[in-house]
Every structure is written in C-alpha cells, then in structure tokens.
Amino acid sequence: MASDIGSSSNPGAHDPYALLGLEPGASFESVQEAKIKKLSELGDDPQARAKVEASYDAVLMSSLKERQSGKVSSAAVNASQREDGKIQAAGGNSGPNALLTRLRSINTPSSEAKSGFWSMLSLPDGQGLTVRLVLGGLALLLVIVAPVGSAQLILALSTIGLFLSQIRRGRRPLASLGWSVVLLSTGLILGGLLLQGTSAFISESLPIAVDQLEALPAILLLWAGALLLG
C-alpha cells in the first residue's frame, strides 16, 4: 500500500481526493474516515503517512475555498471549525499548522451569525441523519411498548448511542461523555417532575408504567442530542 501511494506512476498520486479514495464534495465524516483507514493500512512508512496527511490538509483547504464561495452547508462549516480547534491544540501557534489554522478560520457572513452553543448544533448529512432518526424513533417506541422494567436498559443504550454519535461526528471523547451525561441527567430530572405532576391519575388514565413515563423526556433529549450535537 505504501509503495502505491509513493509511486509517481500512479495517475492519482498527486490528487488528494484520489489518494484518500474520495470524490470531490465528500462530507467531513467521509474525509476523516478515509484518512484513518489509509493511515491504518500504511503501517510505519513515514513518507507514505506524510502524503496522506498532506492530502487530508489539501482536501480541507479545498473545502475552505468552497465555504468562502458559499458552496457548502452549515454542517460542513461547523465540521471545519471543529477541525480548526483540533489542529490548534495539537500544533500550537507556530509552524505550518498555525498558518493553515488561520486560513481555515476565515468565516463567511452566514457562519459569523453563529456563536457559542448554537455553533455546535447541526444536522448530520445523508445516511447519518436517516440512521439517527430511525434509531431514535425505535428507542422511543421501545420505551412505550417494552415490558415494565426495561426502560433503564433502553436509556443506557441510548446514552451510549449518543456518545458514539458525537465521536463519529468529530467531537472529543471527554466532551462527548459530558454532553451525554448532561442530557441524560436533565431528562431524568424532567421525568421526575413529570411523574410528580401526573402521579394522581397515572394508574387510571395513562396506559404506561411509571418508569416508562419517567424515561420519556430523557429519551427525547438523547435523541435530539444525537441529531443536533456535532
């Protein structure tokens, strides 16, 4: 594999998209996955690994140009901003990484309107959105129809799903864990309040168990986090 990347006779050797096995316009998640896959295949060949890293930077620079011309979605803008933070943390404020980071940090008018918490919210693209919608709806349905006592298991699986969703979209593990715990805790608190407000007639009017009703707000918040947190 390393010899294929290093060979100048390869027609795609100087095309960063071809080297990573991508098509122009590939999503941020696809670029990340392609880079990780290539590096895992190369072993310890420093020259080949350097070419993969350079191709990865070239693809991100191409995305930057498209962002400046208004050709990319807000999700791509947010993904690029997350990558800026990673590069700055790893490379400090000197060397070529610093220059690349400054170039990528140029914002378009549409991205300047977002700041703070709102800049972290974006819907995933394509198949990622479909998978999250289906799994979230399935978790909500299971909480309602599953046997009594299974709500805690469904909540645990949903929390793990939210954590993995954020990791896949480029968030760091510690931040992903923090958001998962916060949303789960907030949902359980809201569920407790809901339970107190309906305790007088829950056994008579609602065809749902106590633990299922208490878990509903947490499931909804975890589902929203999987859809929006990136």
- Token reading at 10: 């390869």
Looking at residue 16, its pLDDT comes to 83
Same domain for 153 and 207, yes or no, is: yes
pTM of structure: 0.46
Would the pLDDT of 13 be above 80?
A: no
Average pLDDT, rounded, for the chain: 74
Q: Is residue 121 part of a domain?
A: no
Same domain for 6 and 105, yes or no, is: yes
Same domain for 135 and 212, yes or no, is: yes
Coil/strand/helix, residue 179: helix
Determine the average pLDDT of the residues in 78-101: 51
Same domain for 90 and 139, yes or no, is: no
Q: pLDDT tens, 147-194?
A: 877 888 999 999 999 999 888 888 889 988 999 999 999 999 998 888
Which of 90, 114, 138 lies at the terminal end of a domain, its last residue? 114
Looking at residue 23, its pLDDT comes to 81
Sequential DSSP letters for 75-135: HHHHHHHHHHHHHHHHHTTSSHHHHHHHHHTPPPHHHHT--GGGGGB-PPPTHHHHHHHHH
Same domain for 68 and 148, yes or no, is: no
Count of alpha carbons within 13 angstroms of residue 128, beta-carbon side: 22
Same domain for 86 and 35, yes or no, is: yes
Parent domain of 135:
127-228
Total count of domains within the chain? 2
Q: Is residue 119 part of a domain?
A: no
Coil/strand/helix, residue 229: strand
Looking at residue 195, its pLDDT comes to 78
Q: Is residue 46 part of a domain?
A: yes
Q: pLDDT tens, 17-60?
A: 888 888 887 777 888 888 888 888 877 778 888 888 888 888 88
Q: Which residues contact 143 (CB under 8 A, 6 or more apart)?
A: 151, 154, 155, 212, 215, 216, 219
Same domain for 11 and 66, yes or no, is: yes
Q: Is residue 100 part of a domain?
A: yes
User: Rounded distance, CA 18 to CA 160, Å?
Assistant: 34
Same domain for 157 and 183, yes or no, is: yes
In this structure, how many other beta carbons lie within 10 angstroms of the beta carbon of residue 17?
18
Q: pLDDT tens, 211-220?
A: 788 888 999 9
Q: Is residue 15 part of a domain?
A: yes
